[in-house]
Amino acid sequence: MTKLKWGMIGGGEGSQIGPAHRLGALADGRFEFAAGALDHRPDVGREYAQRLGIAADRSYGDWQEMLAGEKNRDDRIDLVTVATPNATHFEIAKAFLEAGFNVLCEKPMTMTVEEGEEIVKVAEKAGKICAVNYCYSAYPMVRQARAMVRDGEIGKVRLVVTNFSHGHHGDATDADNPRVRWRYDPKMAGVSGQFADCGIHALHMASFIADDEVETLSADFASTIPSRELEDDAMVNFRMRGGTVGRLWTSSVAIGRQHGFDIQVFGETGGLRWASEQPNQLIYTPVNGRTQIIEKGEGGLHDDAQRLSRVAIAHPEGFPLAVANIYCDLADAIHGATRDGLPNAEAGVRSMAAVHTAVASAKEGGVWMDARPPMFR
């Protein structure tokens, strides 16, 4: 099969997410890294792109130059990844969608709900894919959990409890470090800090595994380091359309936690538990039965879990390969396959609506509010 051509905007040398995208996109031989505008400094971006093997005439200085250079090529890119600062996502994604490119956007997809709804409409009108990199939902055992819920193996879901908490911003003496400070500055991060950064991964995961959508929520935000304007800790209670109760905690000041993302799903006839620090195991407990450990790579897994597992049982697959699974689903979708596990623009705008609703709820002392985007009410 001919490789699809892939381009990237942002994610330059020294970035946190850029290497994960490059490893993920190229892991399975589905994409060729053909074009890039990798840095806000044009010369630096061009030089780095060429070091990564991109031809000089497709090593661009900025995204506008890349759009102009790619849109009329016979061998134009099939997919562009947008991994730039949050406030730029909308403008770039919209321009490439309107020009007929498929887009993978880092979260958050947009800064406002109105922008998110526009992206949904633009992607639909263009007939192109706009995916959002909620990559935790692409771990094989997360796909296994979703399939078990869909097949009724734990009965009707009653309760989801999830958290995404770490302590890497818990040092008050480091609060003015520019690499930390921007995350709590509304001029750079938007309306929310920790909930928009990590909490929306947990909220998306809850919807994904439960196969349901968040309808209402109540939030409590705290800035535990006084110099921070935006929250570094949040508790969010939510209710789903089908009646499922949700509890979510997210924090960046939980010193001692490294990358604590986990989720528990409790149904009428069983429960499931998955944790990002042990991603190759899914814990399943049937009602009145013994707890079982379901391992990635073992026999009898659901199709999606088997399809997205590469390495034999007992060998770990980590974060870059979860990102790679997003790219696998994208490649299949570009070729016309249905991949309903791929987080799309609808997931992106639902997340942004939840962020803005949580901010409003927290300001009002935790009042319950409708968390749905207007277009889905």
CB 116 within 8 A of CB 109: yes
323 belongs to a structural domain:
no
Residue 256: C-alpha distances to residues 66, 71, 130, 194, 252 (Å): 43, 48, 36, 17, 11
Residue pLDDT tens, the chain, 377 long: 799 999 999 999 988 899 999 999 999 999 999 999 999 999 999 999 999 999 999 999 999 999 999 999 999 999 999 999 888 999 999 999 999 999 999 999 999 999 999 999 999 999 999 999 999 999 999 999 999 999 999 999 999 999 999 999 999 888 788 778 888 988 888 899 999 999 999 999 999 999 999 999 999 999 999 999 999 999 999 999 999 999 999 999 999 998 889 999 999 999 999 999 999 999 999 999 999 999 998 989 999 999 999 887 777 788 899 999 999 999 999 999 999 999 999 999 999 999 999 999 999 999 999 999 999 99
Same domain, 270 and 204: yes
Same domain, 177 and 34: no
> What token pair was written down for 272?
């499931």
89 belongs to a structural domain:
yes
Q: Give which of 66, 20, 75 is closest to 42, Cα–Cα.
A: 66
Same domain, 100 and 155: no
What is the Cα 356 distance to its own chain's centre? 17
Same domain, 227 and 127: no
217 belongs to a structural domain:
yes
pTM of the predicted structure, to 2 decimals:
0.95
Q: Which domain holds residue 23?
A: 4-135
Which positions ≥6 away from 13 have C-beta within 8 Å?
A: 38, 39, 44, 48
CB 8 within 8 A of CB 63: no
Same domain, 144 and 241: yes
Q: How many CB atoms lie within 10 A of CB 155?
A: 14
Which positions ≥6 away from 91 have C-beta within 8 Å?
A: none
CA 376, CA 173: separation in Å to the nearest integer?
44
What is the predicted pLDDT for the residue at 219? Answer: 98
Dump the DSSP string for 310-360: -S-TTS---HHHHHHHHHHHHHHHHTT---TTS-BHHHHHHHHHHHHHHHH
CA 39, CA 86: separation in Å to the nearest integer?
15
What is the predicted pLDDT for the residue at 131? Answer: 98
CA 361, CA 171: separation in Å to the nearest integer?
28
Same domain, 106 and 218: no
CB 120 within 8 A of CB 349: yes
Same domain, 94 and 153: no
Q: In 69-147, which ranges are E strands? A: 79-83, 102-105, 130-132
Same domain, 69 and 151: no
Question: H/E element holding 243?
Answer: none
Which positions ≥6 away from 181 have C-beta within 8 Å?
A: 175
Q: Give which of 152, 105, 129, 57 is closest to 352, Cα–Cα.
A: 105
327 belongs to a structural domain:
no
- Out of 81, 104, 135, a domain closes at 135
- Out of 135, 164, 179, a domain closes at 135
Same domain, 26 and 150: no
Structural domains in the chain (count): 2
- Out of 84, 107, 135, a domain closes at 135
Asked if omega into 108 is within 30° of 0 (cis), the reply is yes
Same domain, 72 and 195: no
User: Each residue of 271-289: b (16+ CB within 10 Å) or e?
Assistant: bbbbbbeebbebbbeeeee
What is the predicted pLDDT for the residue at 235? Answer: 98
319 belongs to a structural domain:
no
CA 276, CA 274: separation in Å to the nearest integer?
7
279 belongs to a structural domain:
yes
We report the CATH number of the domain holding residue 284 as 3.30.360.10
We report the CATH number of the domain holding residue 53 as 3.40.50.720
> What token pair was written down for 335?
């070729």
What is the predicted pLDDT for the residue at 188? Answer: 80
Dump the DSSP string for 149-178: HHTTTT-SEEEEEEEEE--TT--GGGTT-H
Q: How many CB atoms lie within 10 A of CB 239?
A: 17
374 belongs to a structural domain:
no
